[in-house]
Amino acid sequence: MHEPPEILLLGPGPSPSSPHVRRAQSKPLLGHLDPDFVPLLDAAQIGLRRLFGTENQLTLPLAGTGSAGMEAIVANLVEPGDRVVVGVNGVFGQRFADSVRRAGGDAVEVVAEFGTALDIKAVCAAVAVGATKLCVVVHAETSTGVLTDLRDIAAATRQSGALFAVDCVTSIGGLPLDFDEIGVDAAFCGTQKCLSVPPGLAPITFSERALERVHARKHPVPFYFDTKLLTGYFGKARSYHYTAPVSMIYALVAALEEIEAEGLEARFQRHRDVSAALRRGLEPLGLKPLVPVEHAAPMLTTVCYPAGIDDAAFRKHLRQQHRIEVGGGLGALAGKVFRVGLMGHGARIENVLRALAAFGDALAAAGHRPDVSAALAAVHCD
C-alpha cells in the first residue's frame, strides 16, 4: 500500500485523530457479539448521550457516514405526503430537503442565502402553518460555517405538535447540545469532525416522542435503519442486525474517553478560544471571515478570498508546501471562499499558528503582501 503522507487536516472534516484513537482502532479484532466487545457498545451509548445532552435510550452509533444518520432520521420519521419544514442555508440543509423528498415527504424549505443565518421567525411561522409533521435544521452548516440557534424553533415545533430533528454533524463535541432541555426529538451526527474519530459512524438519537411516531407508521422502515432492529442489537437482546464495524467502535470509545478526561466545558472553551485566535489572525493577512462572529460556528471558519486569489492554486500551495488541508467552498460559494476546520484534536493554538503562516505564504506566492508577523502576534492578543 502507498504510505499516506502526514497531512494536517484543517478542513471541514475529517479532522485529525489522536494517537490514542488511532491505537484503539488497530487493536485485535473481536466478533461483534463477543462478550469482551459488547460492553464497548454500552460505553459508546453512554458517552454519546452525554454529548447529545439526552437521556434517550435510543442513542447509538449507526454504521455509515453522517449521511446515513440523515437517512435514518428521514427513513423513520417521514412518510409519503408528510409536511416537513426544512431550514436551508447551505448544502447540508439542501441535502436534508432532498432526502425528505426522496422519501415522498413534502419538504417546505425556508431558505436563507448561503453564509447568512436562517430567519428563525420564518422557520417558526412555517412550522405553525399547515399540518407539519417534522421540522429539521442543520445546527452548524458546514458549507458556510453558520450556526443556527435551536431554542425558538424547538419551542415552536413542540407547540405545533410536530417533531424537531437536528443535524449536529459538525457541532457535536465542539459545542454544548443539551437536546433534552431544548426539546430536540431526533438528531444525527458523524464522527469525523469534533469527535476526531475517522469517518464511518453516524451516531443517532431518538426521543420517546419520536419513537411513538415510528411505531404508529403505516409504511415499514427500510431494514438497515429500522430503529426496532437497531434496538435489538444495541439494547439488552444483543440480537444480530448487521455486523457492527468493531474497530470503529473501538476508536469511538477511545475518543469518548479522551473527551471525558478533558471535560466537556474545557473542550467547548478550547474550540471557542482557537476560533477567536484564528479570526484575530486573519485580518493582518488581508483575509475576512464570511460569517459575522455572532452567527459563526466556532469549529468551522469560512474565509473569503481577496481579489485575484485562485482557489485551486491557493489550496494546492497549502497542501504541497505546508502539508495542510483546508476545504474549498461548496455550492454557490465554490471558488469564493475556503473553509478552515479547527475541530476536536485539531483545535489547537499551534495549528492556528501553522495555518496562518501557511496562508500568509500562499498569499505572498500569489503576489499579495500579508503581514504574517502581525497575524501570528494577534493569535496571542485576547
Ligand X SMILES: Cc1ncc(COP(=O)(O)O)c(C=O)c1O
Distance CA 327, CA 340 (A): 7
Q: Among residues 65 and 116, whose Cβ is nearest to ligand X?
A: 65
Binding site for ligand X (CB under 6 A): 12-13, 65-67, 70, 92, 138, 142, 167, 169-170, 190, 199
Q: Which residues contact 263 (CB under 8 A, 6 or more apart)?
A: none
Distance CA 70, CA 189 (A): 8
Shortest Cβ 140–ligand X spacing (Å): 6
Lookup: cell for 279: 479570526
Shortest Cβ 65–ligand X spacing (Å): 3
Contact 301, 275 (CB under 8 A): yes
Shortest Cβ 252–ligand X spacing (Å): 14
Q: Among residues 200 and 360, whose Cβ is nearest to ligand X?
A: 200
Contact 173, 194 (CB under 8 A): yes
Lookup: cell for 10: 484543517
Q: Among residues 89 and 227, whose Cβ is nearest to ligand X?
A: 89
Distance CA 137, CA 46 (A): 25
Shortest Cβ 204–ligand X spacing (Å): 12
Indicate the residue whose CB is closest to ligand X. 66
Q: Among residues 18 and 65, whose Cβ is nearest to ligand X?
A: 65
Shortest Cβ 95–ligand X spacing (Å): 7
From residue 202, give the alpha-carbon distance in Å to each of 120, 169, 170, 264, 287: 27, 8, 12, 20, 34
Q: Among residues 198 and 370, whose Cβ is nearest to ligand X?
A: 198
Q: Among residues 98 and 311, whose Cβ is nearest to ligand X?
A: 98
Which of 300, 333, 336, 311 lies closest to 91 in space, CA to CA?
A: 333
Could you tell me whether strands 300-304 and 337-341 are parallel, antiparallel, or unpaired per DSSP bridges? antiparallel
Q: Which long-range contacts (CB under 8 A, 24 or more apart) does 346-350 make?
A: 346/8, 346/9, 346/10, 346/15, 346/16, 346/196, 347/174, 347/194, 347/270, 347/271, 347/274, 347/275, 347/299, 348/270, 348/274, 349/273, 349/274, 349/277, 349/379
Structural element, H or E, at residue 227: helix 227-234
Could you tell me whether strands 201-206 and 186-188 are parallel, antiparallel, or unpaired per DSSP bridges? antiparallel
Q: Among residues 203 and 281, whose Cβ is nearest to ligand X?
A: 203
Shortest Cβ 366–ligand X spacing (Å): 28
Shortest Cβ 193–ligand X spacing (Å): 7
Q: Among residues 117 and 378, whose Cβ is nearest to ligand X?
A: 117
Contact 195, 18 (CB under 8 A): no
Residues facing residue 187 across a β-bridge: 166, 205
Q: Among residues 72 and 362, whose Cβ is nearest to ligand X?
A: 72
From residue 74, give the alpha-carbon distance in Å to each of 126, 163, 165, 201, 244: 19, 12, 9, 17, 21
Q: Among residues 133 and 139, whose Cβ is nearest to ligand X?
A: 139
Shortest Cβ 264–ligand X spacing (Å): 21
Shortest Cβ 168–ligand X spacing (Å): 8
Shortest Cβ 271–ligand X spacing (Å): 16
